[in-house]
Chains A and B, each alone.
Chain A
Amino acid sequence: MGEPRLDLPQGTLDVLILKVLALEPLHGWAVSERLQQISGDAIQVGQGSLYPALHRLERRGWLKARWRTTENNRRAKYYELTRAGRRQLEAETEGWRRLAAVVGQVLDLA
């Protein structure tokens, strides 16, 4: 955990969750682990924000939740991306890239 933690800007968590789940269906704990791994420990999502975000995405129809048995034979709620969720991910990725490019461009003016 050498690198300093990042505070996620509003709304970024949603798109990150969608991205992680685009690879495979996961339960909540695995989502937070995966995020932490991929970001090299820079992103650590508090569970107080992870689960509300998962439920919000489910309510919007972008995620579908299903209770399944884990490899350790335990019951867990797995989330998977719906078709609408995939479209949303594409749209948000595109939006994020443009925003990042524009912000970067402005900041690089020195």
Chain B
Amino acid sequence: MNALLADLLYRLRALVRRQSVEDELDEELRFHLEREVEKHLSAGLSWDEAWRRARHALGGLDQAKEKCRDVRGTRWIEELFRSLGHALRTLSRSPGFASVSVLTLAIGIGASTAVFSLVDGILLKPFGYPEPERLVVVSQSVNVDGQVFEGIPVSAAHFREWKNRAGSLEGIALMRSSVRYITGTDGDPHRVFQVTVTPGFFEMLGVRPTLGRTFLESEAEEGHDRVLILSNGFWREYFQSDPDVVSSHRSGPKRRRFPVGRPPW
């Protein structure tokens, strides 16, 4: 057998079956002692003298055992467990100190985890689109007599001008997020998040729907049927992932809406 494997198995047994290994050691040394006594007795020594000599030859039963434990190669791990046990007992004797220590650790670990999650999400993980470094957000601010108003809604006319004249941008699309309420099949109102975008939005991001198509230019014109693209979660929850939902006709209380596709998220 491989020497390394033999060594590992030996140590594993010494650890896992510690008690039986200890018992065996005890029995082995005791057997030795008895044989030694028998030998002296048969040589004609008195019982007391025989025992005295046998014990002397063994050089201390406990010392012999200690030396045998040393060669098992499991001492460090046993001492580790002993130290852990000692630490736990010490902590349980002073619960106040223990709770402060645990709390300190908890806050420390929690804070680092939180900061890491933030840094990971914002700085380390790339934005989920191709060439995310080329994406920019443009917003409009208005300066009225030195007072600046940020995030002013963009009018259709402005958008058209930007689209035609912003030469440093390859594509440009408008988006506005809002919250809508719909009536579910259970009759209860459901809150859904909606983003209204201009045609070309998905092309600008460089993503394609997994089903159906993206919005057409003509669909942005006044009077055209409202069309929408369902998120994966919405599609799964409200349409049971039915692929035939694309292009099917649904009526709402106010306007008609046609699902035309589903983005990849």
Which A residues fall within an 8 A CB radius of B?
27-29, 32-33, 46-49, 51-52, 55-56, 58-61, 67, 74-77, 82, 84
Contacts and interface: CB of A to CB of B under 8 A. Distances in A.
B195 interface: no
Nearest to B10: A59
A29 B3 contact: no
A47 B64 contact: yes
A29 B6 contact: no
A51 B64 contact: yes
Q: Chain B contact residues (Cβ within 8 angstroms of A): what range? A: 20 to 34
B32 interface: yes
Contact of A52 (B31, B35, B60, B71): B71
B1 A84 contact: yes
Contact of A29 (B27, B36, B70): B36
Contacts of A55: 68, 71-72
Given A51-B67, A59-B73, A60-B3, A46 B59 contact: yes
Interface of B: 1-3, 6-7, 10-11, 24-25, 27-29, 31-32, 35-36, 39, 57-60, 63-64, 67-68, 70-73
Contacts of B73: 59
What 4 A-B pairs are tightest by C-beta distance, nearest first? A61-B6, A48-B59, A52-B67, A56-B71
Contacts of B24: 67, 77
A49 to B, nearest CB: 7
Contacts of A58: 10
Given A55-B71, A75-B27, A77-B28, A48 B58 contact: yes
Chief secondary structure at chain A's binding surface: helix
Contacts of B2: 61
7 contacts: A47-B29, A48-B63, A51-B68, A52-B67, A67-B24, A76-B28, A77-B24
Nearest to A77: B28
B230 to A, nearest CB: 66
A47 B59 contact: yes
Contacts of B59: 46-48
Nearest to A67: B24
Contacts of B10: 58-59, 61
- Which of A55, A67, A75, A76 is most buried by chain B, counting CB atoms within 10 A of its CB? A55
Nearest to B54: A47
A10 B254 CA distance: 98
A84 B58 CA distance: 29
A61 B6 CA distance: 6
B64 A48 contact: yes
A76 B29 CA distance: 10
Nearest to B36: A29
B29 A60 contact: no
A74 B71 contact: no
A60 B7 contact: yes
B28 A28 contact: yes
Nearest to B21: A55
A61 B58 contact: no
